[in-house]
Amino acid sequence: MKIRGYHTDRFGHVNHARYVEFLEEGRWIYFEENLLMSPFHEAGIAHVVANLNINYRRPAVVGDILRVETDIMSVGEKSVVMLQEIFKDEGRILVLDASVTDVFIDAKTDKVIPVDDRLLNIWPDLQEKVHP
């Protein structure tokens, strides 16, 4: 995505809230590319962000082209932590890195779902990050 004037504040920097939208966009794209949207929906599983931890490294300015990379960082008993990095200058400069902790919720009962076989079947890439 390309940075426009309306993304930036009066110092010409992309503001903090806007990055949170870029990270959310990155997670949507990850879910789409990994074909997770429909299976989660059909299984009646929602997920919510429980923690968002962002390290702002370098400012992004108008004209910068940002790339968001999203991957699984670790898998706990009741949560999955995603690692997200935003780069500019064709990946040479790290703008920020973030960890995002997702918790899964049964859409009917509103109860937290553990990261068990049901989830691993939908999202097989979790398997390799599960702590043994």
Which positions lie near a copy of itself, rule CB under 8 A? 2, 4-6, 8-12, 15-18, 20-21, 24-25, 28, 48-56, 62
The amino acid at 4: R
Find the helix or strand (DSSP H, E) in which 92 lies: none
9 as an active site residue: the answer is yes
By beta-carbon proximity to a copy of itself, the closer residue of 6 and 132 is: 6
Residue given tokens 């429980």 in the structure block? 50
**Residue among 35 and 50 whose Cβ is closer to a copy of itself:** 50
Q: Check: CB of residue 123 under 8 Å from CB of residue 34.
A: yes
Which of 9, 106, 116, 125 is an active site residue?
Answer: 9
* Cα separation, 4 vs 64, whole angstroms: 8
- Which residues are annotated as catalytic? 9
